[in-house]
Amino acid sequence: MKKESKIFSTATSVASIIAASTMLWSVLPTTKVIDTHQHEYFSSILVNHLPLTDNLKIRWWKNNCRSILKEYKIPTPSRDGTYYITIWSFGEGYMEEDDHDRLCFHDMKVKNRCIKKDALLFINHSKNRGLILEIENRNYRIENDGSVTRLRNS
């Protein structure tokens, strides 16, 4: 009887963990691209709710890079294939340019064209280094087969 009780207790615990995880996942906000800005081969993507962990940010990029290319024409590489993308938090939205250290998009011809500088993810590609994602000074290379390698000294 004790063995059956222990199995039932373990099964109940596992089911509870799965249910709680599913509920938590369903209430977490999904990442939404709010706007994009392009200047030569430098791109800015403004988002709300980028995932919190490095692994989830990398997964988000890998899962969304094709649709971002299709919808926003990002990235736009230079002749040698180099490009830079910064994923920014849209945060409080567009604000006026003022004495604060804000990033302003001069392709916009409106008063509110600046955002608070809150970079969440840097993506760059070059012929020599390949595709590199930088998250808070940690660098990851996305290999041709899609695998991810964390680079040393980062």
Task: Reduce the DSSP state of residue 91 to 3 states and report it.
Answer: coil
Q: What is the pLDDT of residues 41-94, one digit of tens each?
A: 999 999 999 999 999 999 999 999 999 999 999 999 999 999 999 999 999 999
Confidence of residue 29 (pLDDT cuts 50, 70, 90): confident
Contact status, residue 137 vs residue 154, Cβ threshold 8 Å: yes
Token pair in block for residue 8: 């039932």
Residues 6+ apart with CB under 8 A from 70: none
Q: Averaged over 128-143, what is the pLDDT? A: 96
Report the distance separating Cα 37 and Cα 27, nearest Å.
29
Report the distance separating Cα 139 and Cα 37, nearest Å.
24
Confidence of residue 153 (pLDDT cuts 50, 70, 90): confident
How open is the CA angle 136-29-104, to the nearest 5 degrees?
55
Q: Is the pLDDT of residue 27 over 60?
A: no
Look at 22 and 150; give whichever has higher pLDDT.
150
Alpha-helical regions (H) of 28-130: 54-72
Q: Is the pLDDT of residue 7 over 60?
A: yes
Q: Is the pLDDT of residue 142 over 50?
A: yes
Report the distance separating Cα 16 and Cα 99, nearest Å.
51
Find, among 86, 62, 83, 87, the residue nearest to 129 by Cα.
Answer: 83
State the pLDDT at residue 58: 97
Q: What is the pLDDT of residues 102-131, one digit of tens each?
A: 999 999 999 999 999 999 999 999 999 999
Confidence of residue 26 (pLDDT cuts 50, 70, 90): very low
pLDDT-wise least confident of 28-37, 78-87, 137-146: 28-37
